[in-house]
Chain A
């Protein structure tokens, strides 16, 4: 393919044919500001922030302008700077500008660009204002159209990456709004609560439903025994909220901060993950040996579960009946742990810290509990935990490392890697191999199921037993894989892992916000996953069934995996849902 040579701000660059001027500017070391642009999925030239001077009659949007041979582009002229500033001022004329009370303050791209471009009067243009509409019916996601700049990044990720497509641009001209069809609340649509829309929103138009008040109230209630459990992926990203470089695991500081917040016990969902593997690997072996429904598909990701219930109900028998790790652990806290310590389970409040907004929806599912108690009472995201830590005046970065509490806090490397795409698969294989073959697995790392390829497939030899497995991340990729199975194009798979978010939980909708600029420099999916794989490597025990607390819970309480008690407390069922 021929290269194109052009000049950008006096720098000559050669770029492949088909590149845009925005692409070319990057290789010239020039940063052009963008708002609506999301590489590969939303290149629509709508916001006009990326305008440049090419010598043409008018300034042009560089994100949709093909680079041409001999082109001379100026990105930093008085006219360009003024155009960008006026653009921002016009956006502000229909923006609520309540930055002081906005959770996205300082991580807001609109706010940052206003600062950069020297917007000195946020009320320069006053005109019609769209009436504020806040949709907060969903347990997971809040939409505030008064902060929406109509960039359509949420629309693009919802439709193109997740294949959910429950929001879009409606009406026309000044009345244009991003909404669900027929003005439905998000919770009345096929929204899977994954929160990927929040992760790409440049402003505070899309945020998580904040449940920190519920946690503060519980912590302040002396009659309550408040237990917290953070998910594997939280430790790989929480540090970013406090200036610690991306990809640093902050497990010890996190445990310490939770204790200082006042939780009575600090347990770890990594334990729940190990427990999940015991149940799930046993279920898989059962299905393989007794002729059950195959391929079996993982059930840890609540976004994926709702997606499957809504769009692929014919695959419900394929879903593992295992509850997700934090739900399992919640059930164990309110039975096993309560019994052992003589605590009234009704006084226990289980708080899960999750990289995920869909977990809020999951925790509210009526079937996930027993005796009138929910397994998990409150779910907060990584971002909400960071907010609590800041409010409590805890200097996170300087905290010492502490350990989790005993009985439900011990974990193996297998539990840790749940947070990365392929992690559940790998953890299950480690245990399944040893259970099926009776031999010790020395090479515990199944590299074929790691990494960011949309659908990963591997054929494994479990001591003579050939097993074909697949891993899909993002519900769009899951849909693609299931379509292939439906059509018969893909056959013979035994086990499938699906995570609703691209990259798995490390890139969940509840994780610290990473701007598109930063994402181009370093991929949070890779760096955060590396932190987990590193932690796995450093663990003495790397197989779930070797976890001493897991052995203890089966000996003391559960009996055996997939036994009677497990089925009562650790397994669940699914329901077909309507799409509209």
Chain B
């Protein structure tokens, strides 16, 4: 089933396209807003953007695959980003990531079976002073040790 069958979401997408059409960087902007609406940007959505903006699907798909922020597959309710930037890495980010994988039962790059968590290793999140740092959706957790992880995960399991 296509996500575009949701008329409300489709309507929002059409508004996004109308807003950016003809502007520089319209593809990038539209993809970003579309991801806000649908949670990810599957093929149907990319085709809709390409047709709406009057650009090729190749261009849209090129942008969508260039930036790691775009997800082509559905993602979990909570996107967990474990920073692997230099500062976090030297302060033990790898151990934090391993613990995160164990606590959520979800490999890196994948989404948990219940659709709750998506685990990603990310580049520098720009919070080096708090290293090692993770983000869960818009929440930031810093100065972590691996043992902090299960407690944090439990909080999101109850939400």
Which residues of chain A from 135 to 182 have a CB within 8 Å of any chain B CB?
A: 155, 159, 165-172, 180-182
- Would you call A165 and B62 a contact (CB within 8 A)? no
What is the CA–CA distance of A343 and B49 in the complex, to the nearest angstrom? 56
CB distance from B146 to the nearest CB of A (A): 30
- Would you call B43 and A168 a contact (CB within 8 A)? no
- Would you call A168 and B66 a contact (CB within 8 A)? no
CB distance from A166 to the nearest CB of B (A): 6
B46 contacts partner chain A, Cβ-Cβ < 8 Å: yes
A residues in contact with B57, CB < 8 Å: 165, 181, 580
- Would you call B56 and A170 a contact (CB within 8 A)? no
What is the CA–CA distance of A182 and B60 in the complex, to the nearest angstrom? 11
CB distance from A362 to the nearest CB of B (A): 24
- Would you call B47 and A169 a contact (CB within 8 A)? no
What is the CA–CA distance of A169 and B58 in the complex, to the nearest angstrom? 8
Which of B58, B66, B67, B68 sits near A181, CB closer than 8 Å? Answer: B58
B12 contacts partner chain A, Cβ-Cβ < 8 Å: no
- Would you call A182 and B43 a contact (CB within 8 A)? yes
Which of B47, B58, B68 sits near A168, CB closer than 8 Å? Answer: B58
B59 contacts partner chain A, Cβ-Cβ < 8 Å: yes
The 3 A-B residue pairs with the shortest CB-CB distance in the complex, in nearest-first order: A168-B58, A165-B56, A181-B61
B residues in contact with A180, CB < 8 Å: 58
- Would you call A182 and B58 a contact (CB within 8 A)? no
Which of A166, A167, A170 sits near B65, CB closer than 8 Å? Answer: A170
What is the CA–CA distance of A24 and B124 in the complex, to the nearest angstrom? 43
B residues in contact with A165, CB < 8 Å: 56-59
Which residues of chain B from 36 to 79 have a CB within 8 Å of any chain A CB?
A: 43, 46-47, 56-62, 65-68
Looking at chain B, what size class is its interface with the partner chain?
10 to 19
Shortest Cβ distance from A167 into B: residue? B58
Contact A159 to B65, CB < 8 A, known contacts A181-B46, A182-B43, A580-B47: no
CB distance from A270 to the nearest CB of B (A): 37
Which residues of chain B from 129 to 149 have a CB within 8 Å of any chain A CB?
A: none
What is the CA–CA distance of A166 and B46 in the complex, to the nearest angstrom? 14
Which of B43, B58, B68 sits near A159, CB closer than 8 Å? Answer: B58
What is the CA–CA distance of A1 and B69 in the complex, to the nearest angstrom? 46
Which residues of chain A from 381 to 440 have a CB within 8 Å of any chain B CB?
A: none
- Would you call A169 and B56 a contact (CB within 8 A)? no
A residues in contact with B60, CB < 8 Å: 181
What is the CA–CA distance of A181 and B57 in the complex, to the nearest angstrom? 7
Q: Can you spell out 11 A-B residue pairs with CB atoms less than 8 angstroms apart?
A: A165-B58, A168-B56, A168-B58, A170-B61, A170-B66, A171-B66, A180-B58, A181-B58, A181-B61, A182-B43, A580-B43
Shortest Cβ distance from A159 into B: residue? B56
CB distance from B86 to the nearest CB of A (A): 18
A residues in contact with B62, CB < 8 Å: 168-170
CB distance from A150 to the nearest CB of B (A): 12
Chain B binding surface, main DSSP class: helix
B residues in contact with A172, CB < 8 Å: 65-68
Which of A155, A159, A168 sits near B61, CB closer than 8 Å? Answer: A168
* A-B contacts besides A155-B58, A165-B57, A166-B58, 6 pairs, CB < 8 Å: A165-B58, A168-B56, A168-B59, A172-B68, A180-B58, A182-B43
CB distance from B151 to the nearest CB of A (A): 35
A residues in contact with B66, CB < 8 Å: 169-172
A residues in contact with B65, CB < 8 Å: 170-172
CB distance from B62 to the nearest CB of A (A): 4
What is the CA–CA distance of A155 and B57 in the complex, to the nearest angstrom? 13
B residues in contact with A159, CB < 8 Å: 56, 58-59
CB distance from A476 to the nearest CB of B (A): 12
CB distance from A163 to the nearest CB of B (A): 9
What is the CA–CA distance of A580 and B59 in the complex, to the nearest angstrom? 14
Give per-residue flags for A231-275: 1 if the beta carbon is below 8 A from chain B beta carbons, else 0: 000000000000000000000000000000000000000000000
B residues in contact with A155, CB < 8 Å: 58
A residues in contact with B43, CB < 8 Å: 181-182, 580
Shortest Cβ distance from A182 into B: residue? B43
What is the CA–CA distance of A172 and B61 in the complex, to the nearest angstrom? 12
Which residues of chain A from 113 to 138 have a CB within 8 Å of any chain B CB?
A: none
- Would you call A182 and B56 a contact (CB within 8 A)? no
B residues in contact with A181, CB < 8 Å: 43, 46, 57-58, 60-61
CB distance from A249 to the nearest CB of B (A): 38
What is the CA–CA distance of A159 and B68 in the complex, to the nearest angstrom? 25
A residues in contact with B47, CB < 8 Å: 580
Shortest Cβ distance from A164 into B: residue? B56
CB distance from A188 to the nearest CB of B (A): 12
Shortest Cβ distance from B44 into A: residue? A580
What is the CA–CA distance of A168 and B55 in the complex, to the nearest angstrom? 12
What is the CA–CA distance of A165 and B61 in the complex, to the nearest angstrom? 12
What is the CA–CA distance of A42 and B59 in the complex, to the nearest angstrom? 15
What is the CA–CA distance of A182 and B50 in the complex, to the nearest angstrom? 14
CB distance from A189 to the nearest CB of B (A): 9
CB distance from B34 to the nearest CB of A (A): 15
- Would you call A182 and B59 a contact (CB within 8 A)? no
What is the CA–CA distance of A169 and B68 in the complex, to the nearest angstrom? 15
What is the CA–CA distance of A159 and B60 in the complex, to the nearest angstrom? 13
Which residues of chain A from 286 to 335 have a CB within 8 Å of any chain B CB?
A: none
Shortest Cβ distance from B47 into A: residue? A580
CB distance from A486 to the nearest CB of B (A): 14
Shortest Cβ distance from B51 into A: residue? A579
Which residues of chain B from 104 to 158 have a CB within 8 Å of any chain A CB?
A: none
CB distance from A171 to the nearest CB of B (A): 5
Which residues of chain A from 172 to 222 have a CB within 8 Å of any chain B CB?
A: 172, 180-182
* Max chain A Cβ within 10 angstroms of own Cβ: one of B46, B58, B66, B68: B58
* Max chain A Cβ within 10 angstroms of own Cβ: one of B43, B47, B62, B68: B62
What is the CA–CA distance of A173 and B77 in the complex, to the nearest angstrom? 29
* Max chain A Cβ within 10 angstroms of own Cβ: one of B43, B46, B59, B61: B61
B residues in contact with A168, CB < 8 Å: 56, 58-59, 61-62
What is the CA–CA distance of A167 and B46 in the complex, to the nearest angstrom? 15
CB distance from A325 to the nearest CB of B (A): 32
B residues in contact with A170, CB < 8 Å: 61-62, 65-66
CB distance from B66 to the nearest CB of A (A): 5
CB distance from A113 to the nearest CB of B (A): 27
B residues in contact with A182, CB < 8 Å: 43, 61
